[in-house]
Amino acid sequence: KIDPNDFRLSVAPMMDWTDRHCRYFHRLLSPHARLYTEMVTSAALVRGRQLRLLEHSQQEHPVALQLGGSDPGELAEAARLGAQAGYDEINLNVGCPSDRVQSGRFGACLMREPALVGDCIKAMRDAVSVPVTVKCRIGVDDQDDYADLQHFTETMLRAGVEILVVHARKAWLQGLSPKENREIPPLDYERVYRLKREFPQLVVIVNGGITSEEAVREHLMHVDGVMLGRAAYHDPYVLARIEAVLWDVTLPSRESVLQHMRPYVEAELARGTALKHISRHLLGLYQGEPGARGFRRCLSEGAHLPGAGWSLIEQAIAPLRAAA
């Protein structure tokens, strides 16, 4: 049985960003947030047998695997592999507009084919017992009336979707880069709120442009959950502030969060992971604080040097500690 409370806060799937190191860090900042993997294509898992893409640590839970694809049989098999690997949720990407993704017929272009998405969802649901969820946009190209979103949502509900994440802007499939598609089409939160009013049984999560705990509070008056993408990456401490507000816990210091990374970093270094693959996700921790630039510079420059280890992180914090 799905508890909407479990979906109040999540961190968006982001290619090249939300890898397992990043998710481990975000988990320390927010013990309750739902974390999403980068998108993994069903073809990579099923045809390519790239099962290493499913690697994650036990501390990441609750963690969702995001899949990209449009072949019901292949997605069902990929979902099964994901559930078997321990993921708590399987999410289908129906919102990503990049060219590469369109050529394989998945991502946002699938909003034009709700029936096909419905078939994918049914096949995935038959294959796993964890929730199967969808992440979509409010529209694509000229298919951007509320009625289009309503029809898409009805089809998802019929296919058994109980949780829908909606990036509150449409995507232009021609002419805009993926980055422009995250900035240019205007945000329309009201459409997402309306969806929740009209489909109260559906757990609705709003995404797009959310950057503060105040904004989170406001959105939660209208929908079940919020999903943060870029803000969580560039200013990760916002996750701790939101956690403190939503779950009424005391705010940990930035430094204590970093110190909790230490055993993880040391274990990863011991298995041969280079520090830079972990430290790049930490660069924004002091965003907005005095000394943030020095911290960022020390970490980003030092992490490329051979043999970089935990002492580099201590070195990056030292001036901030002295200032405090």
Residues in contact with ligand FMN, total (CB under 6 A)?
A: 23
Residue 209: left if φ>0, alpha if ψ -120 to 50, beta else—which one?
Answer: left
Q: Does 210 bind ligand FMN (CB under 6 A)?
A: yes
Q: Does 192 bind ligand FMN (CB under 6 A)?
A: no
Binder to ligand FMN among 229, 236, 284, 302 (CB under 6 A)?
229
Classify residue 49 by burial, with Cβ atoms within 10 Å: 0-12, 13-18, 19+.
exposed
Q: Which range of residues in 202-210, 212-220, 247-255, 257-265 is near ligand FMN by CB under 6 A?
A: 202-210
Residue 15 CB, nearest approach to ligand FMN (Å): 4
Q: For the chain, how far is it from start to end, CA to CA, in angstroms?
A: 47
Binder to ligand FMN among 10, 42, 70, 207 (CB under 6 A)?
207
Q: Which range of residues in 57-65, 76-84, 91-99, 276-284 is near ligand FMN by CB under 6 A?
A: 91-99
Whether 136 sits among the annotated catalytic residues: the reply is: no
Question: Per-residue x/- mask for ligand FMN, residues 56 to 85, rule CB under 6 A?
Answer: ----------x-------------------
Q: Does 133 bind ligand FMN (CB under 6 A)?
A: no
Footprint on this chain of ligand FMN (rule: CB under 6 A) = 12-17, 38-39, 66, 93, 95-96, 135, 167, 182, 207-210, 228-231
